[in-house]
């Protein structure tokens, strides 16, 4: 198949996933096309509302911490560890797939890097400051500075590589 047709089909599949609610197979696995056109699947996990909420004082070891405009500086910019920030929004289908992938990555490597997520819809100040125009967006901070950023749905293997570069 000519390359242009493959690229067009991949782009259309990504648009369909982004504009619809997250499709799921009969086992409840969320599905989406990754940036390379491959299918990405992630089980969604139910999470206790207090887990990872910075306003409530923390997260589980190896978990993902919710940060806000008010807590971002303390939890990210002043962190002694490198920090992976997942910029997301609840209406974003690919973000709802990326979230569990970030959680799995944090569970594997959380002791070496801090993992946080920021809802761009309810925390527009930080999103604006860092020029977040596309989500999901993954930024890595070291000593208060952005050292890497990627936009779009990423598979777990790619996130693991990204994290390992900065720990």
Which DSSP string corresponds to 63-86? -EEEE-TTTHIIIIIT-SS-EEEE
What average pLDDT does this structure show over 88-114?
A: 93
Per residue in 47-91, pLDDT (tens digit) is: 433 334 444 434 455 689 999 999 999 999 999 999 999 999 999
pLDDT at 51: 39
Query: 3-state DSSP: the chain helix, strand, coil percent, rounded to 5?
Result: 35, 25, 40
- Token readout for 30 is 């969320």
pLDDT at 44: 41
Per residue in 117-149, pLDDT (tens digit) is: 999 999 999 999 999 999 999 999 999 999 999
What average pLDDT does this structure show over 37-42?
A: 50
Mean pLDDT of the chain: 76
User: What confidence tier does 16 reach under pLDDT thresholds 50, 70, 90?
Assistant: very low
pLDDT at 158: 95
Question: How does strand 114-119 pair with strand 83-88?
Answer: parallel
Name the pTM for this structure: 0.68
Answer whether CATH 3.40.30.10 is correct for domain 54-165: yes
pLDDT at 46: 39
Q: Which residues pair with 83 in a beta bridge?
A: 114, 141
Residue ranges, comma separated, of all CATH 3.40.30.10 domains in the chain are 54-165
User: What confidence tier does 110 reach under pLDDT thresholds 50, 70, 90?
Assistant: low
Positions marked active-site: 92, 95
Q: Which residues pair with 156 in a beta bridge?
A: none
């Amino acid at each position: 198949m000519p390359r242009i047709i493959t690229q067009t089909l991949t782009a259309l599949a990504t648009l369909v996933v982004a504009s619809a609610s997250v499709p799921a197979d009969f086992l409840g696995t969320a599905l989406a096309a990754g940036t390379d056109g491959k299918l990405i699947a992630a089980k969604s996990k139910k999470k206790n509302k207090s887990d990872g909420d910075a306003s409530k004082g923390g997260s589980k070891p190896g978990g993902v911490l919710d940060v806000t405009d008010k807590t971002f500086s303390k939890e990210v910019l002043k962190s002694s560890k490198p920090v992976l920030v997942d910029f997301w929004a609840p209406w974003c289908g690919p973000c709802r797939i990326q979230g569990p992938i970030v959680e799995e990555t944090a569970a594997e490597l959380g002791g070496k890097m801090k993992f946080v997520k920021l809802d761009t819809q309810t925390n527009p100040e930080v999103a604006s400051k860092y020029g977040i125009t596309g989500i999901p967006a993954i930024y890595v901070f070291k000593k208060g500075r952005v050292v890497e950023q990627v936009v779009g749905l990423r598979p777990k293997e790619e996130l693991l590589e990204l994290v390992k570069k900065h720990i």
